[in-house]
Amino acid sequence: MRDETIVTVIHKVEDTGITRRKKDACIVVIYGAELGRKYNIEGREMTIGRATVNDICVSQDSVSRTHATISADDSGVKIRDNESTNGTYVNDHKIHEAYLKDGDLIKVGRSIFKFLTGDNIESSYHEEIYRLSTVDGLTQIFNKRYFTETLERELSRARRYDRPLALMMFDLDHFKRCNDTYGHRAGDHVLRQVAEMVRDRARKVDVVARYGGEEFAVILPEIELHGAAQFAEVVRKMVEDHNFVFEGRQIPLTISVGVAELEPHIANADDLIQIADARLYRAKQQGRNRVVFLDGDN
């Protein structure tokens, strides 16, 4: 017998803009195996689960054999959790049954699907595929490819107009321990929360990206080294003070940060990344949960 209560969320059509069956609908894999694959919803029930007999097979230990069911009725498209072990999530909310709206994110195990619907679903699908080329599916911030291309452009612009440019790189301290202790789903939850916090704190001109694994990068145009270091310290303290909770369990978390600025001897974007990354490594060597922005002691 489970202790937690899961609320069934069924909204009225007129309140939520739920799509009726006459409109096309599909779900697209935006994080996990078969990235970008589209599954059309054509009026019949579709099952998602670990077993190969499902319409959508998600081969992960955290996914139940028949995890969830998607179906369509006169009110729209809905998803139902089939009493799975680890639950079905819509926009990070655990659900028993819920109607889907255009753009909703469905999480089953560690895979994430995006629900698309409308009068021109093919156009929406191709827009989503383009977005996947620039955005990290898990955290919904920019990916490494977009970061690298943007840093090259910003570096060229800073050189051309003799403007300051800084780069901040950070990663989550003891992240493997977090995964081992609380599970990979908790680790994914923490990554998403950190990404959202930093993105919301950054300026519109800043570029926040997931560089890889638990490492993130922030491009800071028009900021010199000490200003960038001050921003890095704000982010470090914000993460340290935040109450990360997953399924009722508190997860203590800190980050280590390296900051660098564009200088005359830096030839290209790779050099700037290397300097920031080396300072990040030194922050970890010095005990973690700190910002390093100089080659000597801060």
Q: Is residue 157 one of the residues assigned to a domain?
A: yes
Averaged over 144-150, what is the pLDDT? 97
Q: Is the pLDDT of residue 9 over 60?
A: no
Residue with tokens 């191709």: 126
User: Which among 97, 154, 214, 261 is annotated as catalytic?
Assistant: 214
Between 119 and 221, residue with greater pLDDT: 221
Q: Is residue 55 one of the residues assigned to a domain?
A: yes
Q: pLDDT tens digits, residue range 187-198? A: 999 999 999 999
Q: Is the pLDDT of residue 103 over 70?
A: yes
Averaged over 188-213, what is the pLDDT? 97
Q: Is residue 151 one of the residues assigned to a domain?
A: yes
Q: Is residue 152 one of the residues assigned to a domain?
A: yes
Q: Is the pLDDT of residue 298 over 80?
A: no
Number of domains in the chain: 2
Which element (helix H / strand E) includes 260? strand 255-261
Q: pLDDT tens digits, residue range 234-283? A: 999 999 999 999 999 999 999 999 999 999 999 999 999 999 999 999 99
* Cα–Cα distance, 293 to 278 (Å, whole number): 10
Q: Is residue 89 one of the residues assigned to a domain?
A: yes
- The verdict on 179 and 120 lying in the same domain is no
- The verdict on 72 and 95 lying in the same domain is yes
Q: Is the dihedral of CA 200, 201, 206, 208 positive or negative?
A: negative
- The verdict on 80 and 218 lying in the same domain is no
- The verdict on 161 and 281 lying in the same domain is yes
Between 95 and 7, residue with greater pLDDT: 95
> 292 with 283: CB under 8 angstroms?
yes
Domain at 78, CATH number: 2.60.200.20
The reported pLDDT for the residue numbered 118 is 86
Q: Is the dihedral of CA 42, 46, 50, 53 positive or negative?
A: negative
- The verdict on 120 and 192 lying in the same domain is no
- The verdict on 155 and 285 lying in the same domain is yes
Amino acid at 238: M
- The verdict on 94 and 37 lying in the same domain is yes
Averaged over 62-79, what is the pLDDT? 95
214 is catalytic: yes
Q: Is residue 5 one of the residues assigned to a domain?
A: no
- Single residue among 110, 132, 154 that ends a domain in this structure: 132
* Cα–Cα distance, 165 to 192 (Å, whole number): 26
Residue with tokens 């977005």: 131
The reported pLDDT for the residue numbered 14 is 47
- The verdict on 21 and 119 lying in the same domain is yes
Residue with tokens 């990070």: 92
- Single residue among 132, 152, 187 that ends a domain in this structure: 132
- The verdict on 170 and 278 lying in the same domain is yes
- Single residue among 98, 132, 166 that ends a domain in this structure: 132
- The verdict on 61 and 87 lying in the same domain is yes
Q: Is residue 297 one of the residues assigned to a domain?
A: no
- The verdict on 189 and 233 lying in the same domain is yes
- The verdict on 119 and 58 lying in the same domain is yes
Residue 237: give the domain boundaries: 144-292
Q: Is residue 4 one of the residues assigned to a domain?
A: no
Domain at 250, CATH number: 3.30.70.270
